[in-house]
Structure 1
Amino acid sequence: MTCIVFDIGETLVRDDRYWASWADWLDVPRHTLSALVGAVVAQGRDNADALRLLRPGIDIGAEYAAREAAGRGEHLDETDLYDDVRPALAVLRELGVRVVIAGNQTTKAAGLLRDLGLPADFIATSGEWGCAKPSREFFAHVVETAGGAAPWEIVYVGDHPTNDTLAADSAGLRAAHLRRGPWGHLWADDPEVAEAADWVIDSLHDLVDIVKQEQQA
């Protein structure tokens, strides 16, 4: 493998702040929204359906814009990162692996991630590309970011069964399913996910060991 591409939400960044801010904006208990997110995840539905259950007919795009206008929009800082992100990505680069971050996020999120100064060679989001996972178009962009690597030399790392593991495998990439967050834990032992994933990992540090083993082979 010569390039590892990372999903963002619940792979590099915790979703705590994201859902808490939505609950506060909609003036509902945070626990209520968190429980609804868990429910739609268990049903294999879009996580935004949790917002639609709370506010039937909600225009999520309009509410997002209203939050931004009110100064209560997207925010990311160091506390949103999982503890293994910086050290694992830094070691992977030291091992000669190209590190890319690409996930289903807004254009603003891309800027916020770049401002964090993460040890990555390239950062992009679906908002910038105008296409989202699990589309083939998104993964075609992923391959373009890999510095000339062939699809089978690229590993996509993520927690979501459909958007990450299955989609990456379908696109001809190798896939690492991360047992992290509600999607990652719930679907890690699913037979279809297990078949599509080249690895099921518990930490980004596991990737360092995988790369070292492949380099020694």
Structure 2
Amino acid sequence: MQPLYSSERINDKCVKRSEKLCKKGRINILTLLGILIAFISVILLLIFSVTLLISIIKKKPFPKKLFIATITGLGMVCIIYIYENYFFTFDSINQEYTQPGPGPLPSPTERYTAHAYYEPYGGAAGGVNVWVELTDHLNNDKKKIIYYADVKRSFSMFWTDEKTLFIRNVEHYDNKSITLNVEKEIYHESGLACKSWVMKNEYVTCYKGKEGNEN
């Protein structure tokens, strides 16, 4: 079993290394753009509603341009929402700034290798995510991510058999630990991987949040 791990230490190293490495936040640019467009669309909708009411009362022409702008904004928000929720992949992980964690950890027959990586975010006031990458050496060293969550003070992992990896990620009463069948199961804390249409062929069972947690 790997030794206990402190997320505070990794984040401190990240800050000392370079503030630039820690400026990655949880909310990406596309999400921020969606929020901005949604805000503008709501304002346009209110203006359109008032303008439409006035045009009906005073029998003025229908505000076509304002209507088109409002519908376009709302349509863009819907597209961004669908893309963010149903076209999610782990490619969004900023691997340039990751730091190596426990591993490589070979399975009993050495067919698989598990390796954890840390992903600092938010600078000194931020935190650290952890993701576990699995390599299948009998399948052209194919790699896939089987675990992604906010890392806690105690993080370790070990194989219980050839196909089963226990990942311990716990701090006091916040437990994100889980046992995974690496051939069929994955864990994603936010659950976006579980909803993603493009990732359906990568697992049989996808856990999110506290689903499947073990002590």
> Computing the radius of gyration over CA atoms, which structure comes out larger, 1 or 2?
2
User: Normalized per residue, which structure has more strand?
Assistant: 2
Provide the TM-score with structure 1 as the length reference: 0.28
Higher relative contact order (CA 8 A, sep 6+): 1
